[in-house]
Structure 1
């Protein structure tokens, strides 16, 4: 009899949002600040002399956010919430972790992961808030220093979200994407003794390369 694995799943639920004109201005500031913090941190890492240890996430936050706010060239970072700025540094750390795991063959069966790149203003813009930086109030989503944003709820969230990403796509539309826990499923691998690698784009990748698709629910 083949073994099965009950896997706790995470999924993204995405909804269309309609920020007011003043909120669009504040979001543009936020997107720009997150992009600058990411790029500054990446530049600092790439400029580290060969053989020397790269700065840690905590050191990058101190240099690229806390200290940067005290300089004339970056003082406007203080105009936006600190939470998504710190998250940009964390996300960069995750991007490097994924890159090195891919190079080491630890992400078999998944798409190619390249070295983190500098972000450009013309691409899709985003900022991620973790708990403490957002809340859901009636029919609107509150984001720190942005306010309550009109949201088109096409279906209810299945559980309390752990994070939310606000997005502006290349067509100028705004979306909000929640990461939530959903009901576990039983996964039956074709071979016994395989490992299970969980993800959002692919729900689970077994060590054999066998995949179980995730639910990337985009509505609105």
Structure 2
């Protein structure tokens, strides 16, 4: 199976500039291709696919206004065109809405490199157009003999840099056991086991709640688009990025209530709960998504339309592809 291994890294000043430029070029190419595909269909009823946008990219690089696209690796630029193609495929299949343009402020800053765009050798990773390898904090080892197929570099809102390596991995089958335990998530206690054991809720966020509230108030007072607002937004993001106070070297801790907790034991119990949920109902580990505004699942919405005699706001025959 394919498995992603994510690490934090610390780029040099030159690498940070190069990656930031790559993020901007990736966003630019994606928006140009999306605009071209939309315009081709709306004006000429012409469908444009990945091959056509790839040819457009070559032409764009030859123009004076977009010559800067040659300063970054072509691999992430081609990958963003593939991502756009996948977005249209999902749209035509009814699995997603129409692709949106990437925003400089709101969109994720990332770039994906395939095997031709990086070199992984002896535990070092070097990206195309870079002379030095990335300084990666290898918090856990890759599988033995693993060779990444793709590498995704990203930067979060707090300014931290991450690299994700997609590798082939084999997870050994667990031994069959009849032992089981029920786990209930609560408020006073994080977890309550059917054995009677209770896991305290550490409530890590309370330590930074005042700082976060103060930083958010300061952000709300700043004028939109100003440099001060950008600095205030970064302060808020950095406070959010602190759910990592406990270093990995700390394997156990004493709660305020006096209980001693082992983080590995807690992790094992969480894994057990997820595994039993899968075996019990056959569902995936991840919960089904619901509407964040109406708090109703798609099934409930469908039932409401049927019981009230209201037709659905769409029909499959009414959904016509724009491209």
Q: TM-score, normalised by structure 2?
A: 0.50
Asked if 1:122 corresponds to 2:105, the answer is yes
Q: Which moves more between the two structures, 47-56 or 26-35?
A: 47-56
Q: How does 1:195-206 map to 2 (within 5 A)?
A: none
By how many angstroms is 1:57 displaced? 0.6
Asked if 1:81 corresponds to 2:65, the answer is no
Q: Which residue of 2 aligns with 1:141?
A: 125
Q: Which residue of 2 aligns with 1:151?
A: 136
Greater strand proportion: 1
Gaps of 5+ in 2: 174-280, 287-323
Q: Which of 41, 48, 51 pairs up with 1:55? A: 48
By how many angstroms is 1:184 displaced? 5.5
Q: How does 1:1-220 map to 2 (within 5 A)?
A: 9-50=1-42, 52-63=45-56, 65-101=57-93, 103=94, 113-123=96-106, 124-147=108-131, 148-158=133-143, 159-183=146-170, 210-212=283-285
Higher relative contact order (CA 8 A, sep 6+): 1
| Distance change >3 Å, CA 209–CA 85, structure 1 → 2 | farther
Q: TM-score, normalised by structure 1?
A: 0.73
Greater helix proportion: 2
Please give the secondary structure, in 1, of the residue aligned with 2:147: coil
Larger Rg: 2
Please give the secondary structure, in 1, of the residue aligned with 2:170: strand
Give the distance between the partners of 1:161 and 1:53, measured in 2 at CA: 38
Please give the root-mean-square deviation of Cα atoms over the aligned residues, in Å: 2.2
| Distance change >3 Å, CA 54–CA 209, structure 1 → 2 | farther
Give the distance between the partners of 2:151 and 2:162, measured in 1 at CA: 10
